[in-house]
Chains A and B, each alone.
Chain A
Amino acid sequence: MRAPGHDPGLAQSAAMTAADIDRAIRAAWRIEQPRLITTLSRMLRDVPLAEELTQDALLAALVSWPTMGVPEKPGAWLIATAKRRALDNLRRSKMLARKHEMLAHDLAREQQAMPDLDSALDDDIGDELLRLIFTACHPQLSREARAALALRMICGLTTEEIARAFLVPEATVAQRIVRAKRTLSEAGLAYETPRGEELSERLASVLEVVYLIFNEGYTAARGEEWLRPQLCHEALRMGRVLTSIAPLEPEAHGLLALMELNASRAAARTDQAGDPILLMDQNRARWDQLQIRRGLLALSHARELGGAGGFYALQAAIIACHAQAATSDVTDWRRICTLYAELAGLVASPVIELNRAVAVGMAEGPQAGLAIVDALAGEPALKNYHLLAGVRGDLLQKLGRYDEARAAFEAAAELAANKREQELMRRRAAEAVDAARR
């Protein structure tokens, strides 16, 4: 057994390179980051400043820890450091308002009585974290700015990491963050948890951002950028945080369910070459059962809270039908039809209607599906959407109307934006020609 008081972590391995140590410090900081920023936000009542000091604490750790070792309680060390800086900052500031004086006084007194570092950290940060999320995702900020701020303040990503994840220049993200923080400071936006009607409106703004982050990662092709899929994980974590600190909000559970269930198929979605595999053709043994279980649990929470008909919960319920089907041919298409109809009643969208056509085609036969597709023919929003023609071709093929199917697949190939989709549509057009000859 090691001697008591020996610093764990960094000091344990002489083989650690500077880069290893740097990563270990960042990891320790990330784990404490939510507690740091919420504690500081509460103390300072200034989110942008709290965010800066949280970053400062990381820099201080990067300077000190390589020589002193990781402290036994990294969180306590970080918060003590951040508080000291907060105090310095307030003292240096020429604009020492009376509020600041009082705050500085409180801080100084707190510091004198500091030896018990543990008590300096808030254990239950739920309310504070919720307030922070509402601030970062304030509807006055653009969607991009909300996404960037949330990733930085809630997930602890660096500006560079956010830029790489969204495939935009770092300077762009830095600008977005600076502007967003300025907006938050200047607008003097209330740092508080909204109540009543405002709560659901503000929550929608938060959920929208979390879902945006998730989709940004989910739709990314398997590829060079590891950070794009990482966005899914960050969004999932935020979704889990939201359900734990706002447990009575059904749509928070609905969104979490949707994300867990979608993410459960991650390993089955592409083949070795990185080509996409359609849902019905995926190897279901590769679906992640732990994540499916968590998704179904979140969905049942949403339902228990009366949120079965919510925008996210309905989409999650559709995915759940697939997740619960052991093989593709036992999929409950009737239920999926019902859910799509309900979703279409909630949000009028031709894309949802097209998806409903696919489900109806499976449940009631291709003729019924085709009727819905044909009703969408004049829809301006789908004019250049290759899947409209693709779905039509598929239904015509099933009806044995091969010439029309070929024409539809060829039209789809013309409209398809990427090469893989074009190839798929051309292949299907060729199949229709073959079928017509037989």
Chain B
Amino acid sequence: MDAVGTIKQMKKAIRPEPANWLDEHGDYLYRFAMFRVRQESVAEDLVQETLLAALQVYQKFEGRGSERTWLCGILKHKIIDHYRKTSRTAQIDPETEARLENEDLFRPEGGKWADHWRADFGPVEWQGSPENLLEQSEFRVVLEKCIAFLPERIANAFTLREVEGFTSEEICEVLSVSANNLWVMLHRARKQLRRCIETDWFRLSK
């Protein structure tokens, strides 16, 4: 076979096959979305939107990089659009927010060592390395459950920061909040998540 023929065949081989996208990448994209939006119906819709959008532009995809990375890139944009939309509509749930703020992690005012950690709620020693923990499916279940337990807008801010590594400015733009507002949200997310992981994993596995 001549060189041109080989190249043609190679091109054919790396050309995306829309018919196979769902089988080959569907669950991957779904898991990717689930970790970020935490609701099945939303994740399913995002996968559908991603594949439909990909269908419209796939002639432009020249096989640079993998098909999966390319689809994932489209999905990431769809997820950020979703955050943008929900930041406008998501109600701030005063009850949950108050619970987050007033948790009695610290000793009561007026007493000895007021506003210092309560002995029974103070952080305990965490055993194991991140890599080691992530290999355990039970830990991942606890982690995802604890993130899902956060109020939605706080979980979204936290995900943009820690999963996607966005800067504060970028997150403020997506969620339309001030920098101060964002820091309070991140502080609450970390405080609650830390406590949830400690209670449901580290204190139990001791």
Partners in one complex: no
